[in-house]
Amino acid sequence: MRERVIFSLFALVYAIFIAVLFKMQVLEGKKYEAMAMDNRYVTFPINPIRGNIYDRNGKLLATSGFRGKLLVINDRDRDEKEYIASLIGRYTTDLSPASYYTLSAREDVLESHVVVREFIRHYPFGEKTPHIIGYVDAQGRGRAGLESILDSILVGKAGTLMVPVDARMRITDRDFIMIPPSKGMDVRTTLDMDLHTFIDSITSRFEKVAVVVMNLDGEVLDIYSRPSFDPNLFVTGFTTAQWRYVNDATLKPLMNRAISGRYPPGSTFKILTSLASIDAGIPWWRSIYCRGIFYLGRWAFRDWDVHHRVGSLMEALETSCDVYYYELAARMGTVKLLEELRKSHLFDERFTPFPEEVRSFIPDTSWYRKRYGFYSTGNAVNLSIGQGEILMTPISIAMMTGAVARGGRMPYPRFYEGQVISDTLTMEYPDSAFDIVRRAMYLVVNGERGTAKYIRWRLEMDGFGDVRVAGKTGSAENPHSHKTHSLFTAYFPYEHPEFVVTVVAESAGHGSEAAVPIALEIIEWLLRHYF
């Protein structure tokens, strides 16, 4: 009897134990699994491989290099830190190439560190990298330019390295589990890097220059801004001198002058004043006699030259006669002029997807009232030649030029393949106005008295005599320097416009002195490479 009690008790307890094991191992196994994984592995994120950025001909503008890195498994392992320091000079987790090879050869004896290669952004052109490429920060995220706005498609997906460790954080197994990072998508830009280096070489005698080269479909061939900086430094780190340089308050190397620099447009603005006056119904064929000075009540407005007889609006633009435009403005008055200028829509929107772009600025009557307490025809007179409060970015000057060339409509600039552009700049002026202004811009380069006839002369000398260019010079007075900003904006060929070139050279003198020769070199380069 008694043995039966004990035997059956024993069998029962055994059955219960097997049931308990079944419950713990099979039924509830998943619950503990995650806990187990947390315990056993130290995980490290592995930088994703960023997509490459190419120019229109497939030149690499931004790619990925690698640098060696030490992952720290156990921070308290002093002996190993000393050992590492003895091998590579000092203990650091960011490894130079030499340190990387030194340490990876001894990888197997390291118990508290893992040597890995980490992908980092590399800009092969260094300082010559166009500003609109932008840069990435030390974490590899885009911080400016295309790197920033295309970050989500360039970035790729981070991988994970799982290092099996014991309870005291020592590596138990050298076969690490690696979920490899994936590469982001490549981006092909519309930029022409050869053109960019060419512009860089011909502008070297100037301190601050902005250039926009685009075709009339809106494809940007180059956006150039000088001075520039080396975007690689944001990845690898700055020296004190380099840091001071990129933050220089007057040079502003980080600023992309072509989209973020605002300049008084000077005489290039006469293009817009001309369109405005024709739309306002002021006869363009009217002639005046320019004595080099214009009186408005007690105030005298000086011209930069004495133009004598100016036969029409076209001649006025050709010779860049200020007095003619003063008279136009005086006839229209401030309210009418501002209303007409706004029909250009150049001041409404930003043209590029870059957040660093700033809008061009045109005052309105309420702004004048707030600033000065009143407004008068004097404001309009000043405005008519692109002086006073008006400020334009080089990209908007280029957009204005393109719109004139295309008869009032210019698609927004495009920077990379696949960029969706739905916007078009539409200027609300009559077609005849564009015809007249185009003819006038033609005369600026090709006319007897044109301010940019140097271009005509050089093209003929250099064997491009059959190419006609239309443009407008500008010399903008500015508070920064006694020398004017030198501006020139042009499109060509005149008959079938294909390219727009806009050049702004800060404090470089008259338009014809600096900007025109630069633009000429660019035009000839384009003629050699694109025709």
Partner 1 sequence: MRRRKTDLFILFGFLMLIIAGTIFVFTSSWYLAYVNNRPTYYFLLKHVLKVAIAIFVFLVGYSLPLEYLRRFRYPLMAISLLLLLAVLILPDPIAPRIGGAKRWLNLGFMNFQISELFKLSAILLLSFNAKHLRNTGKFLVNMAIVFLGIALIAMEPNLSTAILISLLVLSIAFYAGASMAVLSTIGTIAAMGATIAVLVFPHAKARIVSESIHYQVKQSLIGLAHGGLLGVGLGKGVEKFLYLPDAHTDFIFSIIGEEMGFVGAVIVLLIVMAIILRGFHIAKKLHRRDLALSTLAFAISMNLALYSLGHVSVVVGLFPPTGIPMPFISYGGSNLLVNSFLLGILLQLSREA
Distance in angstroms (rounded) separating the CA atoms of residues 7 and 161: 54
Closer to partner 1 by CB, 76 or 170: give it. 170
Residue 20 sits in the site that holds partner 1 (CB under 8 A)? yes
Q: For residue 276, give both structure tokens.
A: 């405005």
Residue 2 interacting with partner 1 (CB under 8 A)? yes
Kindly provide the residue ranges of all beta strands, DSSP E only, lying in 360-480, ordered along the sequence.
Answer: 409-411, 424-426, 470-478
Choice between 57 and 172, CB closer to partner 1: 172
Q: Please compute, for residue 205, the number of CA atoms within 13 A of its CA located in the half-sphere on the CB side.
A: 7
109 binds partner 1 (CB under 8 A): no
Closer to partner 1 by Cβ: residue 21 or 335: 21
Q: Does 43 bind partner 1 (CB under 8 A)?
A: no
Indicate the residue among 20 and 153 with the shorter CB distance to partner 1: 20
Q: Would you count residue 90 as binding partner 1 (CB under 8 A)?
A: no
Choosing from 12, 28, 107, 426, the residue that interacts with partner 1 (CB under 8 A) is 28
Nearer to partner 1, 37 or 153 (CB): 37
Q: Which is nearer to partner 1, 31 or 309 (CB)?
A: 31
CB of 111 to partner 1, least distance (A): 10
C-alpha 303/C-alpha 290 separation (Å) is 9
Question: Strand pairing partners for 252?
Answer: none
31 binds partner 1 (CB under 8 A): yes
Buried b / exposed e along 480-494 (16+ C-beta atoms within 10 A):
eeebbbbbbbbbbbb
The DSSP bridge pattern shows strands 424-426 and 409-411 to be: antiparallel
Residue 26 in contact with partner 1, rule: CB under 8 A: yes
Asked whether the beta carbons of 181 and 48 are under 8 A apart, the reply is: yes
- Asked if residue 36 binds partner 1 (CB under 8 A), the reply is yes
Residue 2 or 298 having the CB closest to partner 1:
2
Shortest Å distance, C-beta 162 to partner 1: 12
Convert residues 157-196 into a mask of x (bound to partner 1 by CB under 8 A) and - (unbound): -------xxxxx-x-x------------------------
Q: Are 290 and 323 in contact (CB under 8 A)?
A: yes
Question: Interhelix angle for 365-372 vs 322-342, to 10°?
Answer: 110
- CB closer to partner 1, 168 vs 496: 168
The size of the interface with partner 1 (CB under 8 A), counted in residues, is 32
**Contact residues for 33 (Cβ-Cβ < 8 A; gap 6+):** none
Q: Tell me which of 25, 182, 426, 481 binds partner 1, using CB under 8 A.
A: 25
Min dist. Cβ of residue 161 to partner 1 (A): 17
* Contact flag: residue 78 with partner 1 (CB under 8 A): no
Count the helix, strand and coil residues of the chain and give each as a percent rounded to the nearest 5. 40, 25, 35
Interaction of residue 372 with partner 1, rule CB under 8 A? no
Helix axes 270-279, 377-384, angle to 10 degrees: 120
CB of 241 to partner 1, least distance (A): 49
- Whether residue 493 is preceded by a cis peptide bond, meaning omega within 30 degrees of 0, is yes
* Residues near partner 1, by CB under 8 A: 2-3, 6-7, 10, 13-14, 17-18, 20-22, 24-26, 28-33, 35-36, 39-40, 164-168, 170, 172
